[in-house]
Amino acid sequence: MKPEAIVFDMYGTVANLDAVNNACVELVEDPTQFGSLWRLKQLEYTFLLSMMGDYRDFWQVTEAALQFTVDATGAQLTQGQQSSLMESWLRPEPFEDAVGCLKKLRGRYPLAILSNGGPRMLREGLKHAGLNSFFDEVLSVDEVKAFKPSPEVYDLAQQRLRVSKEKVFFVSSNSFDVVGSKKYGFHTCWIRRAVSPLDPLGQPPDHIVRNFEELARLVG
């Protein structure tokens, strides 16, 4: 399949969460447990809101997930420390292999970000990571007031890029995102950065790669 556009997820795909993890290390006793629970509840709340037909900005969702995590773990954090944890989401760093791949693909294909992140989070995050110049479109779920893997989110990419969904090559490291976008009709690629298996729901992705170097060879 020769794609007419390539669409990327943001968090965990082109940008890592090292800043968030490092902020947890500095402030809580068990940063691995704290960070994992925070991320788990963050995603769980997006699913819950979608099921309820409700919507909150991803920043608000992340704050709510942080508050739950603080309460659940008994972490003794000041308001200032909680604010510091939240601000770490505005300082993502790019995966090094992603930068090289994007340089090769830029100009050859229309490139876009499609993310649960709110407009401010994406704007400041991409600027901090030095990635904003690579993308023709930066699409936030805030435009449709729904979260991945809702079909409305993926429809946003198709409409804004003016490409039929069968010609969109969608790349994510998040299993639920790959499953949802494949169900929608995108041509999908799962970057398997972690050891976790793919969620056994729906159809498998069209491609599975270990990193962006393999992705560049695949679409290059």
Classify the C-alpha dihedral 37-23-117-95 as positive or negative: negative
Which DSSP symbol is given to 206? Answer: S
Q: Crossing angle of helices 31-52/58-73, nearest 10°? A: 130
Query: Tokens representing 121?
Result: 């989070």
Assess whether 71 carries a catalytic annotation: no
Contact (CB, 8 A) for 148 and 176 = yes
The closest of 179, 15, 218, 188 to 97, measured between CA atoms, is: 15
Q: Considering the candidates 9, 97, 142, 177, report the single residue annotated as catalytic.
A: 9
Q: Helix, strand, or coil here: 75?
A: coil
Question: Which residues, 6+ apart, have CB-to-CB distance to 24 below 8 Å?
Answer: 31, 34, 35, 38, 85
- Known catalytic residues? 9
